[in-house]
Structure 1
Amino acid sequence: MPLIVYSILYAQKHNFIDVVYISTDDVAVREIAQKYGAKVIDRPEAISGDFVPTVSALKHVLEMLDGDVENVILLQPTNPLRPENLLSEAFDIYQNGNHDSLFTVTRNHQKFGRIENNKFIPFNYTIGQRSQDLEPLYFENGLLYISKASLILKDVIVSENAFPMVVTHPFSNVDIDTLEDFDYAEYLLNRK
């Protein structure tokens, strides 16, 4: 099943999502999206490609739609695996907490550093410190984003006041950018 289908089917399971849109400049992606019931917005070449920020595509979709949109939920195809109840829980937090945006994060338990002049300089620990004693650091895992449409029209997906929803599920480590990432996602999917 193509990666994009996982996000389409996941979105369609939630009755608070009115319409699923796919923004693309690719004919094959268009056909797949339509086959699975998503509406397609043709993305102009000027805002397509690997180096264009996602917010450009989201803003374009909003500008192409008739009528008002209050909230936008972004489910990226490179994060095809999501816990079953994640979106429902996130949307409840988003609405009940009166947030303007929400995104998912996961705690990182690694010791980070940088190399300068062939010397390792620790970033989040001191040499010899136990991993269990590290100050909690989190990374944006890309599983989902929820934002007010008004923010996106200002070129913002995640505001300074966004709610960081912590996800501890193994799927939070799946962001497919390489063949190794794909293999890991396939391994997790087959375990389920």
Structure 2
Amino acid sequence: MKTIAIIPARGNSKRLPNKNIKLLGDVPLLVHSIHYAKQQDFIDAIYVSTNDEDIKHVALNFGAKVIDRPNELSGDLEPTVTALKHVLESLDYDVENVVLLQPTNPLRPKNLLKEAFQLFNDTMSESLFTVTRNHQKFGTVENAVFKPFNYCTGQRSQDLEPLYFENGLLYITKVEHILNNQIITEKAYPLIINHPFASIDIDTQEDFEYAEFLLKKDSR
């Protein structure tokens, strides 16, 4: 059985230039995901998919393998699954499972991936992804009128019907589904995790500064 980790890290970030190699703590952003994958004894290889020479250099220096991603698969609107498929189609050996680690979610609980992979195998899932409970009151605004969506006016937050969001911390998927353009399958296992790290998804400078704050707090 072959299980690989794939870290998709394209260049040309618009809102936060060079974010994937911007230093978070002592190492570039994407290296947090490389280090995390290296801690797992069930991961046979770690690949970074990128179209950027600087990102490629950093990934190689920190022990990951690199798959050069074509520019036509690196646009803003290109789905992540195409990068994963390109990596798989570039390999000369068979793979059974793919662990997707997004570099923009750099901080993860230490044992999360190990526990998730065990659950993935125990439940014989097609795929697994992490979700977090939402505790906010949402609504729509129509004709300058706010209409509650997930609650009734006056309802307490603790009494809301449980809703969850995809937090992006990690994904595990059988290869055949990725080759069929799916990362989260219809029968995907939603692993619930409630942790401050689940709120980090770096896209702006403010997101980055929040990640720095949590990293420093976690290292105390």
Structure-2-length-normalised TM-score = 0.86
- The residue number in structure 1 matching 2:88 is 62
The reply on whether 1:183 has 2:218 as its aligned counterpart is: no
The answer to whether structure 1 residue 34 and structure 2 residue 82 are counterparts is: no
Question: Partner of 2:138 in structure 1?
Answer: 112
* Structure 1 residues without counterparts, runs of 5 or longer: none
Aligned partners of 1:93 and 1:10: how far apart in 2? 18
For residues 129-182 of structure 1, give each alpha carbon's deviation from its aligned partner in whole angstroms, at most 9, with x where no partner exists.
111100000000000000001100000000010000001111011111111111
Output the amino acid matched with 2:115. Answer: E
* Separation in 2, partners of 1:182, 1:51: 22
Select which of 83, 94, 97 maps to 2:120: 94
2:70 alignment counterpart? 44
Are residues 1:156 and 2:194 paired? no
Equivalent position of 2:10 in the other structure: none
Pair 1:166-2:187 in alignment: no
Identity %: 62
- Give the letter for the 2:188 counterpart: A
CA distance in 1, matches of 2:111, 2:60: 25
Distance in 1 between the 2:215 and 2:185 partners? 32
Q: Moved runs in structure 1, 4+ residues, more than 2 A?
A: none
In 1, the alpha carbon distance for the partners of 2:188 and 2:87 equals: 22
CA distance in 1, matches of 2:129, 2:76: 21
Aligned letter for 1:72?
V
Q: Which residue of 1 aligns with 2:103?
A: 77
| 3-state DSSP of counterpart to 1:20 | strand
Which residue of the partner structure matches residue 121 of structure 1?
147
2:44 matched to 1:18?
Answer: yes
Question: Structure 2: how far apart are the matches of 1:50 and 1:12?
Answer: 28
**1:93-147 deviations in Å (ceiling 9; x for gaps):** 0011100100000001000001111110111001111111000000000000000
1:133 aligned onto 2:173: no
What secondary structure does 1:164 align onto?
strand
Give the C-alpha shift of residue 50 in structure 1. Answer: 2.0
User: What is the CA–CA distance in structure 1 between the aligned matches of 2:186 and 2:64, rounded to whole Å?
Assistant: 31
Cross-structure match for 2:34: 8
* AA of the residue aligned to 1:177: D
Partner of 2:3: none
Query: What secondary structure is seen at the aligned counterpart in 1 of 2:45?
Result: coil
CA distance in 2, matches of 1:117, 1:178: 31
Q: Counterpart of 2:210 in 1: which secondary structure?
A: helix
Unaligned stretches of 5+ residues in structure 2: 1-26
Q: TM-score, normalised by structure 1?
A: 0.99
Q: RMSD of the alignment, in Å? A: 0.6
